[in-house]
Amino acid sequence: MAVGSVSVWVVNPLVWLWITSRLQSTQARIGPYVLMLAGITGTAIVGAKVLAWLNRRYGEVTGTTPTVHVILPWRRSVRGGRSQERETDGRLPVSVLDVVMIASVAVAVVALALWFIVVKPAPPGVGPGGAKH
């Protein structure tokens, strides 16, 4: 599931960027961009279905409900004095897939932030000599 979640965030867009870069000629056309958007979306949907199947299969193999007993902060009551027993009433369970996907999104956000801090990319058309006219 961890490899699948990373591939949805990293491999999927890179593959579609590579495919559409091979289709792009010197003159810009809208077709490859539409293909890239549709391809990334379609592949992400298929990847999500595969990850959901893996989550169900994990539950079948282990013989347990694939849940983790964690009460996420945004699911907790903001009112004081609630018991731990009542805290979980009516809540949706947190599956292993939920934890894996949240972790992969957190890694992706940290990696993007580090890239901006370390690489400091310049906007298109702006180089070391300032704006091009």
Which pLDDT tens digit goes with each residue over 74-88?
Answer: 666 666 555 555 445
The whole-number average pLDDT for the span 1-15 is 86
Provide the pLDDT for residue 42. Answer: 95
Provide the pLDDT for residue 60. Answer: 84
pLDDT tens-digit readout, 99-129: 888 888 888 888 888 888 888 776 666 666 5
Query: 63: phi > 0 → left, psi -120 to 50 → alpha, else beta; which?
Result: left
Of 33 and 84, more confident:
33
Token couple for 48: 């999500």
Q: 100 and 2 in contact (C-beta within 8 Å)?
A: yes
Q: 4 and 54 in contact (C-beta within 8 Å)?
A: yes
pLDDT tens-digit readout, 49-101: 999 898 888 888 887 765 555 666 666 666 655 555 544 545 566 778 888 88
Provide the pLDDT for residue 45. Answer: 93
Tokens 């890179």 belong to 14
Token couple for 109: 């956000």
Confidence of residue 41 (pLDDT cuts 50, 70, 90): very high
